[in-house]
């Protein structure tokens, strides 16, 4: 079976990412699902661990909430910062031809190409999975089944 990498912004999407992670563990083995908080051992170089996990991944789930694109650091959108970890993760996945699935939650929307840095514009053309608050359990089941079929 393949490996799944979950990318998310902690400031906004951590709860949804954890929920998705727990649901994926109902179907997949723990070593096949990577989420930074649960899979980076204390004292390890987290950039190296992230890169190694991405290199082994077949699918990346990008959790996108309503503030995913608007989150700022130092007055600038983080997604525009080449050192932003979410941006670096997605760029690496796209460059490695990993299957990238945007997971839209709450009032989030798939970003328009013009709202993304050039290296992330392909993300805007990916078919997204929607996880709505009213239907989250069923939506996650559908997403997990889709991931299973891709692996």
pLDDT given at position 97: 93
- Distance CA(128)–CA(126), nearest Å, equals 6
Across the chain, mean pLDDT equals: 90
Q: Of 99, 118, 23, 18, which is closest to residue 63 (Cα–Cα)? A: 18
Lookup: tokens for 76: 């600038």
Strands (E), 1-151: 4-7, 33-34, 59-64, 72-73, 76-77, 99-105, 129-131
Question: 59-82, pLDDT tens digit by residue?
Answer: 999 999 989 999 888 889 999 999
Alpha carbon 49 to its chain centroid, in Å, reads 16
In this prediction the pTM is 0.91
Q: Give me the mean pLDDT over the 122-139 stretch.
A: 87
Question: 134-150, pLDDT tens digit by residue?
Answer: 777 788 889 999 999 99
């Amino acid at each position: 079976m393949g490996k799944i990498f979950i990318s998310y912004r902690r400031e906004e999407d951590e709860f949804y990412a954890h929920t998705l992670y727990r649901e994926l563990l109902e179907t997949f083995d723990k070593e096949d699902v990577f989420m930074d908080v649960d899979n980076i051992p204390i004292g390890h170089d987290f950039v190296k661990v992230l890169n190694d996990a991405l290199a082994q991944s077949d699918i990346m789930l990008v959790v996108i909430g309503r503030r995913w694109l608007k989150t700022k650091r130092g007055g600038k959108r983080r997604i525009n910062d080449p050192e932003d970890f979410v941006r670096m993760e997605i760029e690496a996945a796209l460059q490695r031809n990993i299957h990238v699935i945007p997971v839209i939650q709450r009032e989030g929307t798939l970003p328009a190409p013009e709202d993304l840095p050039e290296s992330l514009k392909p993300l805007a053309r990916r078919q997204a999975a929607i996880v709505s608050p009213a239907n989250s359990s069923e939506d996650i089941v559908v997403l997990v089944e889709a991931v299973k079929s891709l692996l």
